Structure 1
Amino acid sequence: MSDHPSIRRFIHLTLLAMLALALLPTPVLAEDGGHEELAALLEDEQARERLIEHLRGAARDDAQATAEEEEAFSLPRQIANITQGIAEGTVTELNAAVAAIRDVNLGDGDNLAEFGMAALDLALVVAITVALFFLLRRLSAPLFRRDSDWALQGSAVSQTVRRTIAVVLAAALDVIIVVLAWVGGYVVTLLFVGGTGEMETRHSLFLNAFLLIEVFKAAIRMIFSSRYEGLRLLPMSGEEAAYWNAWLARLAGFIGYGLLVVVPLTNLNFGTGLGRVAGLLIMLVAFIYALVIILQNKTRVRERLEAMASESTFAFTRFLTNLAARFWHLVALAYFAALAVVTVTRPEDALPFMAQATIQTVVAVLLGSLLAVVLTQVISRQIKVPDETRARFPLLEERLNSYIPTGLKIMRLGILIMVLAVIADAWSLFNLGNWLGSDAGARTIGTVVSVALIVVLATLFWIGVASWIEHRLNPDSDGKEPGAREKTLLTIFRNAIAVALIIMTSMIVLSEIGINIGPLIAGAGVLGLAIGFGAQKLVQDIITGVFIQLENAINAGDVVTAGGITGVAEKLTIRSLGLRDVSGTFHIIPFSSVDSVSNYMRDFAYHVGEYGVAYRENIDDVIVKLRDAFDELIAHEEHKQKIIGELEVHGVTALADSSVNIRVRIKTIPGVQWAIGREYNRLVKMHFDAAGIEIPFPHMTLYFGEDKDGSAPPAHVSMVHRKALQGRKDDGRKRVEDGRADANPTFKGDFDDAED
């Protein structure tokens, strides 16, 4: 490019022309000569520089405007704007209220008389409607009582379902009573109070307010049913439920009738200014009243909630209840403060907004709690599998039931998130409908569903694999005991499948939620390479362990010598061997330290015995006694089952310094060669003693010393009669024949005499 200035100039001119075409208005280009003016502008150096400066200035202005717009939509700026709007609105309303009070004019006596008559017929409509409402409530009391008694019948699970149905029916009946009283009030007002077929504004205001407020009170009665225990959703006494029901009902009636009846009538008769003053006074009194009640019951409600949390069996429910115990009063105060602020700043739609938000919040909490309780009652019951399946898969039922607590926690967490989303939507903090209809909402819902399906499928796959391995390891399933090699390989296979499944599921889940797993895989490759160089011993352990298992060199329960240690193989992993030696010490030996494996448990084994006798003994007689000892050994039924074949006599193996050594060998099934050897040694000793065959042993010469004259002091020696010695030998043989000297252990897997 630097070698071709004409090409560089052409590119610059093309870019400037494109910018100019984008900035210049279309009519200019449409005029005759517009292109010539543009060409002249681009060819003029000073004009081109001015155009560039203009473009840079426009870019700076756009960047500044964008920054101001982002600042306006930032969270601190939004909080500042909301706070400023509340303060300005409050000051404006207070100034308007003071001006309205100063300018109030009650009018002459005729206006007051007319106002009194209007108040009188309004009081008549109120009395008739309320009386009709209480009459209908009294007549329907037996239905509520019967509904409550029905809900308390049955077991704990059936009571939950019954209570749910009973509460819904009672709430519907309560709303029907309100509607009937409202209709009756309308009929009485139209026929008897006003002119025939006519209704004054004040009457319609009260009747509409009555319908809305009493329906809201019906919702309160659905939660705090003071008279009917079976219809009470919250676990509390009747006295406590009556207290909260009365307090909330009075507060709802005071705020509702005040804002829906008193304030509109004040606006109609005395002006909007005085109506605003009435609204402010109503909300101020309601806030003070709520503040007093909340602070009075702060400790009592907290103790009650903490007691409920301590009785809960689920950690998640216990956590939420403890959280509510700590902060319930702050939430309640924030609610009534928000109600007061909204009434001051938005008097035209404050009550409808608060009523809708409150009802939506209460309904969301109730439905979420009800759904959580029903799921807990239904899912928390233990899964039962048929007896035949339990016999084939003993751990299947336990494994399935182990997933229930985790599943319940996830479901309750999902319910909590949905309830919070509905509450945020109710208070205009979050538009749930728009979010669900947007691409982000659809993508999020799809991701959640995909992740849930992936986790469920992975769990089902693991249950299937683990159950299959369990079936293969279970001897009761097909009446066949699995071999040691099969047990070892299946155990290692199960661990490998678990690790691979966890890694694959995690990678797929991360990919589904939008995380690029390419760098993770590359990082894992680099990490694996680093581990391969930095942890060569670990890699060697794993590779050696794999080949040892493939070659069936060691199985769990085998007696082996590995790494210079002899013991029973109790545990095998992919990288190490766990041996317990004869003293009970447990050794963990990495496979990289195993140069060779000596397995004493393959196919068959030998007891090799080498017995030394004195030079004066007849070798043929000694061999006869060795065979006699073997014949006596196999005469024992238990020993005979462990011995394979006959006694192998190898003959004289050495003419040693003090003995003639004769070697024999006994072939046994693997694992019992040590026990057979110990029993055979015992019998050989007895047969040698009975035959008078000497087994050489180190001798000791006693020196009694000398006197000065060279004579030795006398040594008193007593000789034992040979017949007495023979009697002792015969007595020992008799004990053997009686079976009282048989010390052979019955342990099948011993490999040393310390196992006796």
Structure 2
Amino acid sequence: MGWIIKRCLNYGLALLCFLVVSSALAYGQQPGVPSAQSLEGLVDLMESQKKRETFVKDLKDLIEAKKAIDARGGVEKAAGAEQKQLLIIRVVFERFEGLSKEVRKAVSIMGRMLEEAPAAIGEVKRFLSQSENLSRLLVLFLDAGIAVIVALISALFLGRPVRSATARMKGPLPSKIGWGCVYVLLKAIPYAILCVAFNLLFKALPSLPEGHAIVLLFLILLLFYRVAMGAFRVLLSPDEAHLRILSFSDENANYLWIWMRRFAFYAFFYFMVTQSLMWTHMAQPYFYHLRVLLLIPFPVMLTVFILQIAQEIRMNQKKEMEEAETTRASSEKARNRVLVAVIRYWPILATGYTWAIFLALMLRYERGFEYLFYATLGTVVTALIMLLALRAIDWAFRRLFRINERVNQRFPGLEEKANRYVMIVRKGLAVAVTLVGLGAIGEIWGIPVSDFVASNMGGLIILRAVAIIITLAVIISLIEISNALAAYLVKGKRAGKKKEITQKQKTLVPVIRTAVNIAAGFVGGIIILDRLGVNTTPILAGAGIVGLAVGFGSQTLVKDLINGLFILFEESVRVGDFVMVDKKGGMVEAVGLRTVKLRDINGTVHVIPNSSINTLSNYSKVFSRTVMDIGVAYREDVDQVIAVLKEVAEDLQNDPDYGKSILEPLEVLGLDRFDDSAVIIRIRFKTKPLKQWGIKREFYRRMKRVFDERGIEIPFPHRTVYMGEPKEGLAPPMHVKIQEEKSLSGPASDQNAT
């Protein structure tokens, strides 16, 4: 991650240096002391009647535009501070208001230029046809040629010192910087000699002053171009990495070198063309339009450069985050989120500043740089203060509402319960600080935030915002009170004592709590919408119509709800009961307003709508009874059997595991009926709910064991095998073969009996 930050700083430093150099050079074009050529052009304008009429017409147009601007300025001043706008945007709007006039003027100027083109060509021919002018041009070219030869000779003499300075740049960073400056100076000396030699030769051999000025301008711009390229070569060293001052890879260094060459070359071309056009009287009427046209490629190139760098940084940062996502701590992840935000949004800011600077140049707004500088400085200071305030709020809340670690371990849910709405308060304060900071930044940039807040509309918005906050607080309070009451009512233990919670409470309390929460949220939402200026009457009418339609279209659902309410209020069934609904039986798992859920002994869940419940049998309401029909043989003594059954029941009731489930001793109902092969004695136990089946099974087990010990017969089906007999009355013999095995050591013997 460190190399990404370093790369951002290096790219930002290079971009800042170029913007400063470009802005300073462009600012140097502002009009100052008039030159001799400008005065000569003015004399020519006054002597030509046609040009003088055009100049007077342009002055009249400017006077009309000035009057219109002054009149609008007076109206704005009378309107007061409420009409204050963003300064730079106001200037842009004022410039664009006269755009149609400028276009018409440009079209007329281009037309006049085309009309004057033949005359201008004729003047050029007449100029070249004069031998005196040709001789002066030859002298000018001779001066330039001699100056170039002198510069080349000086470059040859400086070749060895340049190579020596380059070789000494292989040391540490301070040595690289020092010898790099020497390298740039040595590379610039031939071009400086070229400028000085050409100027001295012009004084010795005078020629055309206008040509001399243009050539000298070209040489000076060439000097600045070579100095800039030498500095960029020292910083980036695209060919040799060991000479590089900035810590870039070979690919990135060559990439930056390509873009720096593009910027420097176009800057050289721009200044050369614009300054040369100032010497041409024919180009002066439309010089401003050409200057704007030539300035446009600068912000376009810078925008492309910024977006390319942003894309490269974003891809590298995303790859690194994916590789180290699992090993990062929470604090480092927070820092990475900030870095991701910076990487995501810095191209927007850089592009905006680039276009703002060049728009100020294009629209000839002299205070644009000063305005941007102070506005940016104020924005940075305000943002730092805002960040410090947010950090202070976080620190204060962590200190004031921190729960001891030992207490957290003893009571795991205590911190969440104690600090339930602390996060909302902290977020609210953070939002308030952010809004105040953004308002201050808006004031710095000329947005009338304070005037808006002090106005009637601003006060109304603030009051409505306060009303919405109060409404939200009331809604949250009602919901919390509802949740607290619901938790209290379904709490199984109060003041250290256990309390049985009925199924009616378990079912109705959550339903009522949900209904209260929904009602509070709905009413609060309607109030908030009303405070926001939304007409709530159609919403309420629509809700009523929807409710009526739902009521008519879902009669079965309404029937389910009504039956469910009756079941809950009558407490016919509760969770944990064993019931039989029509032909479906099972343990009750849920009782709701619409359905009852049963799980049978096989594990199958039956969902039964409340409207379809006709008969409901509850096997575990308050207590249960297990009824048993005991069959014994006709030959057994009934009284003796009843006494044995009572003994078994008493023994079962005294058992520590089963006895606590039996509420009353065994009740013998007596001899109930005579079956085909047994007499039936009916008995029953009164047990706790859902314990009857376990008591019954255990009683049967013990009774069988005692009956076997006492010789009491439990009848079971008998079968007599009849072999048949002939007419004589003698039954046929039945042959039985009996086989006995002796010990393993002796032989086996078979015995047959007939």
In the TM superposition, what are the counterparts of 1:329-368 in structure 2 within 5 Å? 329-368=347-386
What amino acid is the match of 2:509?
Answer: L
**Residue 499 of structure 2 aligns with which residue?**
482
Deviations 1:11-52 (A, max 9, x none): xxxxxxxxxxxxxxxxxxxxxxxxxxxxxxxxxxxxxxxxxx
Paired residue secondary structure (1:583): coil
Deviations 1:222-277 (A, max 9, x none): xxxxxxxxxxxxxxxx999xxxxxx9xxxxxxxxxxxxxxxxxxxxxxxxx9xx99
Distance change in 2, residues 1:648/1:392 (3 Å): farther
Matched, 1:655 2:667: no
Q: Following TM superposition, by how much is the alpha carbon of 1:404 offset from its aligned partner in structure 2, in angstroms? A: 5.9
Distance change in 2, residues 1:682/1:585 (3 Å): same
Separation of aligned partners in 2, 1:696 and 1:79: 115
Separation of aligned partners in 2, 1:547 and 1:500: 23
Q: Following TM superposition, by how much is the alpha carbon of 1:676 offset from its aligned partner in structure 2, in angstroms? A: 1.6
Matched, 1:302 2:314: yes
Q: Following TM superposition, by how much is the alpha carbon of 1:682 offset from its aligned partner in structure 2, in angstroms? A: 1.4
Q: Following TM superposition, by how much is the alpha carbon of 1:590 offset from its aligned partner in structure 2, in angstroms? A: 2.5
Structure of larger gyration radius: 2
Separation of aligned partners in 2, 1:633 and 1:346: 109
Matched, 1:437 2:454: yes
The two structures have a TM-score, normalised by structure 2, of 0.52
In the TM superposition, what are the counterparts of 1:24-103 in structure 2 within 5 Å? 84=96
Q: Following TM superposition, by how much is the alpha carbon of 1:446 offset from its aligned partner in structure 2, in angstroms? A: 2.1
**Residue 580 of structure 2 aligns with which residue?**
561
Q: In 2, are the aligned partners of 1:705 and 1:712 still within 8 Å (CA)?
A: no
Distance change in 2, residues 1:305/1:349 (3 Å): farther
Percent sequence identity over matched residues?
Answer: 30
Q: In 2, are the aligned partners of 1:688 and 1:694 still within 8 Å (CA)?
A: yes
Q: Following TM superposition, by how much is the alpha carbon of 1:358 offset from its aligned partner in structure 2, in angstroms? A: 2.0
Separation of aligned partners in 2, 1:377 and 1:705: 107
Separation of aligned partners in 1, 2:91 and 2:722: 111
Paired residue secondary structure (1:568): strand
What amino acid is the match of 1:520?
Answer: I
Alignment match of 1:517 (pick from 536, 544, 555): 536
Backbone CA RMSD of aligned residues: 5.4
Distance change in 2, residues 1:583/1:438 (3 Å): farther
Matched, 1:456 2:480: no
Q: Following TM superposition, by how much is the alpha carbon of 1:633 offset from its aligned partner in structure 2, in angstroms? A: 0.1
**Residue 71 of structure 1 aligns with which residue?**
none
Separation of aligned partners in 2, 1:712 and 1:451: 109
In the TM superposition, what are the counterparts of 1:665-704 in structure 2 within 5 Å? 665-700=684-719
Separation of aligned partners in 1, 2:247 and 2:400: 37
Separation of aligned partners in 1, 2:692 and 2:739: 44
Deviations 1:148-206 (A, max 9, x none): xxxxxxxxxxxxxxxxxxxxxxxxxxxxxxxxxxxxxxxxxxxxxxxxxxxxxxxxxxx
Paired residue secondary structure (2:524): helix
Separation of aligned partners in 2, 1:283 and 1:478: 83
Q: In 2, are the aligned partners of 1:393 and 1:467 still within 8 Å (CA)?
A: no
Separation of aligned partners in 2, 1:366 and 1:308: 27
Q: Following TM superposition, by how much is the alpha carbon of 1:411 offset from its aligned partner in structure 2, in angstroms? A: 6.2
Q: In 2, are the aligned partners of 1:648 and 1:665 still within 8 Å (CA)?
A: yes
Deviations 1:479-505 (A, max 9, x none): 222323144443333333333333232
Alignment match of 1:714 (pick from 724, 735, 740): 735
**Residue 525 of structure 2 aligns with which residue?**
506
Q: Following TM superposition, by how much is the alpha carbon of 1:365 offset from its aligned partner in structure 2, in angstroms? A: 3.7
What amino acid is the match of 1:671?
Answer: L
Deviates more, 1:279-288 or 1:698-707: 279-288
What amino acid is the match of 1:435?
Answer: F
Paired residue secondary structure (1:607): strand
Q: Following TM superposition, by how much is the alpha carbon of 1:81 offset from its aligned partner in structure 2, in angstroms? A: 6.8
Q: In 1, are the aligned partners of 2:491 and 2:501 still within 8 Å (CA)?
A: no
**Residue 606 of structure 2 aligns with which residue?**
587
Q: Following TM superposition, by how much is the alpha carbon of 1:464 offset from its aligned partner in structure 2, in angstroms? A: 3.3
Q: In 1, are the aligned partners of 2:492 and 2:498 still within 8 Å (CA)?
A: yes
Deviations 1:34-74 (A, max 9, x none): xxxxxxxxxxxxxxxxxxxxxxxxxxxxxxxxxxxxxxxxx
**Residue 547 of structure 2 aligns with which residue?**
528
Separation of aligned partners in 1, 2:354 and 2:365: 15
Aligned length: 478
Q: Following TM superposition, by how much is the alpha carbon of 1:630 offset from its aligned partner in structure 2, in angstroms? A: 0.2
In the TM superposition, what are the counterparts of 1:233-312 in structure 2 within 5 Å? 294=306, 297-299=309-311, 301-302=313-314
In the TM superposition, what are the counterparts of 1:404-415 in structure 2 within 5 Å? none
Q: Following TM superposition, by how much is the alpha carbon of 1:303 offset from its aligned partner in structure 2, in angstroms? A: 5.4
Separation of aligned partners in 2, 1:312 and 1:577: 49
Paired residue secondary structure (1:637): coil
Separation of aligned partners in 2, 1:565 and 1:304: 65
Distance change in 2, residues 1:508/1:281 (3 Å): closer
Q: In 2, are the aligned partners of 1:655 and 1:661 still within 8 Å (CA)?
A: yes
Q: In 2, are the aligned partners of 1:488 and 1:556 still within 8 Å (CA)?
A: no
In the TM superposition, what are the counterparts of 1:459-470 in structure 2 within 5 Å? 459-470=476-487
Q: In 1, are the aligned partners of 2:648 and 2:703 still within 8 Å (CA)?
A: yes
Alignment match of 2:665 (pick from 640, 646, 662): 646
Q: In 2, are the aligned partners of 1:570 and 1:578 still within 8 Å (CA)?
A: yes
Q: In 1, are the aligned partners of 2:464 and 2:532 still within 8 Å (CA)?
A: yes
Separation of aligned partners in 2, 1:80 and 1:683: 105
Q: Following TM superposition, by how much is the alpha carbon of 1:532 offset from its aligned partner in structure 2, in angstroms? A: 1.4
Paired residue secondary structure (1:628): helix
Distance change in 2, residues 1:645/1:316 (3 Å): same
**Residue 114 of structure 1 aligns with which residue?**
none
What amino acid is the match of 2:474?
Answer: L
The two structures have a TM-score, normalised by structure 1, of 0.52
Structure ranking higher on relative contact order (CA contacts 8 Å, 6+ apart): 2
Q: In 2, are the aligned partners of 1:626 and 1:684 still within 8 Å (CA)?
A: yes
